[in-house]
Chains A and B, each alone.
Chain A
């Protein structure tokens, strides 16, 4: 895969990262566990991308966070807020529309 194709792939994935993160954070997660959860379903996101993204979503009010000490280690936990739920609903709808559209256009071209 060429550089341009890789860039296009990353650009496409970047667009849905917010949707993935918000969905994953419907249950409380800290950064590392969130990354592992996403990785487990095939969304491998770089740490340098994930952490800033989570903090940005928090600054938008879409996530709530708290520091908690567990297993002898201090961790910052994130969870989706009510505002984030609304955003997630909207993004889900948009995702379904896009998916349907892509499906239709793919079928049409066939």
Chain B
């Protein structure tokens, strides 16, 4: 640049801009800028008609902007060390660290001035500058590294709401965690400025310098504490591990205080006679205050964390217990999932899953709601049964909860007219057996149908076809049984199937008995079968075999003693009503029957299989498949004799249990099958299921109506 150029404001300006530019692009941009300004000068010349003066050029350049800014605008790429995402945290972290370090240093200086201490060769101002440089540098490096890490792994781009952590009772906010990290860092940096040895003698107070001993313990505590704070930034949830580690960390400082307080510092005092005695007095008071503060801190943490952890842990135990009781389909011991689980980010996902499968909302704090739901179901089952016994408000199928094993045990007076203790206990066993056999895959369905079975009123929460089918199936069973009226046993079992009873009364004086029993069964069984039809049928098959044997014995004993005329009539009528219609409808209920057989066989309550289904059986081997499909899908629209057979088998099983019986030992249905030993149970089955199926739709309709009424 010539001397003339130096005087030329344009050349000076361009030279200034170029000096801020990278060498590579310097000349090119300079040339372009020069060309641009020459164009502008030409424009000025043409506008005014005169040669522009230097002042005009200066004005033009001033409008163009400061050379630094112009040069900066040409430089692309990342232009910040800490980006806008992290900058608010960076700023607060720097401010927090500086504020804390200032406060600490001020305290140290006050102590220094008060006690005439020699802080070494570190002047007070230098202490400030030194600590600030350290702190700002470390904070900046930490944020730059964080920014680089986040950018490299696209952390802020590849996130998912599922991984979000919003614990109900957080340890701290993320902002607070960041503050804590840098506060702890600051404190550690300042402590590291103390010139001291780090050895076991100092740590245990043998070296005699109480200040160094305390500082050593504090450094150890901070080294343990800072990683905890860092993890706290990303996850603020309590866990047993975190609580334990935090307690250990606090105890570390507590130990340091106690060691320092109890150590023998006489030698140190002797070596430092200049130190005033009251300094040690104040130091001891500070140590005592620290011990108290640490104790309070530990207590506070436990007080804050323990309810959450207990709730979480207790919830998991309850859930696991409820799982065991309810026989949900995953077959996993979920209690193992919770103890080490943190109630936060990961738990949201887990909670969501649990909520989906269990129908509970962990986020709303109802972590024990599964067990609560089970209890509620039992209670509601009792209420409904009582209602039903009053004859005021019950449709056969809606007495659903009566079908649960536990409830059966709890309501001996209502059901155990036919369901004796043995039956109740078998009911429990069967239920447990069903749980064991139920595996994953249909987990969600198992849950849903389980609750539906236990409480039809909750079926809505399950939603969809399962809920409807469960209730309608239950209704079908109830009314079918009522109409079948096989039983001659006149015991009032206290069931709630008003309609079933009413219909049964028209056809049989003892219809109530079976109606109620079967109503109970019907409520519980189909639902469970819906949960896992295949398993249920397998189970049913086992019980069916067992039932055959028992039924054979009973039928031999009872067949000749009790007349069974009524049942026979019903059986005949059932068959008469059956026919094609009965067959279709029976098959329609095949899935239900299959469903029923699972629980029915299991519970030992059921006594109403369908003989027509049995007699129509063409290919029993197909039964599980069909039954499975229907029951799982909750679809009872297809006619399948095999399913009916499954139902019949279940009925056989149940007959032995409930003794519905009474009397139908010589049922034509049983004879038609040519299975004399099953005559009693088969006859029951004939009327029960056949009529049940015949009236299945009707039952559903009534059930639905009734239910709508209830809802209203």
Contact = CB atoms under 8 A, between A and B. Distances in A.
Interface in B1-39: 29, 31-33, 35-36, 38-39
Which secondary structure dominates chain A's binding surface? helix
Interface string A48-89: 110110011001000000010000011110000000000000
B69 A74 contact: no
B69 A48 contact: yes
A56 B79 CA distance: 15
Nearest to B33: A51
B29 A55 contact: yes
Contacts of A48: 64-65, 69-70, 73
B705 interface: no
A95 interface: no
B124 interface: no
B40 interface: yes
A55 B70 CA distance: 13
Contacts of A49: 73
B74 interface: yes
Given A48-B73, A49-B73, A75 B64 contact: no
A51 B40 CA distance: 14
A37 to B, nearest CB: 13
Given A49-B73, A55-B29, A56-B76, A32 B64 contact: no
Of A32, A49, A75, most buried by chain B (CB within 10 Å of CB) is A32
A76 B74 contact: no
Of A49, A51, A73, A74, most buried by chain B (CB within 10 Å of CB) is A51
B76 A31 contact: no
Given A52-B74, A56-B76, A32 B65 contact: no
A59 B75 CA distance: 11
A75 B35 contact: yes
A35 B334 CA distance: 70
A76 B31 contact: yes
B36 A31 contact: yes
Contacts of A30: 35
A76 B25 CA distance: 14
Contacts, number: 37
Nearest to A48: B65
Nearest to A47: B64
Nearest to A60: B76
B35 A74 contact: yes
A32 B73 contact: no
Contacts of B76: 56, 59
Given A55-B29, A74-B31, A76-B31, A47 B74 contact: no
A55 B35 contact: no
A76 B69 CA distance: 22
Nearest to A76: B32
B35 A31 contact: yes
Contacts of B69: 48
Contacts of A32: 35-36, 39-40
A51 B35 contact: no
A52 B40 contact: no
A52 B73 contact: yes
B65 A73 contact: no
Nearest to A54: B32
Contacts of B39: 32, 73
A47 B74 CA distance: 12
Contacts of A51: 32-33, 36, 73-74
Contacts of A76: 31-32, 35
Contacts of A55: 29, 74
Contact of A73 (B33, B35, B40): B35
Contacts of B35: 30-32, 73-76
B38 A73 contact: yes
Interface in B494-520: none
A56 B33 CA distance: 15
A83 B76 CA distance: 20
10 contacts: A30-B35, A31-B32, A31-B35, A31-B36, A32-B36, A32-B40, A48-B64, A48-B69, A49-B73, A76-B35
Q: Which 3 A-B pairs have the closest CB atoms?
A: A32-B39, A52-B73, A48-B65
Given A48-B70, A51-B74, 4 more contacts: A47-B36, A52-B73, A52-B74, A74-B31
Interface of A: 30-32, 47-49, 51-52, 55-56, 59, 67, 73-76
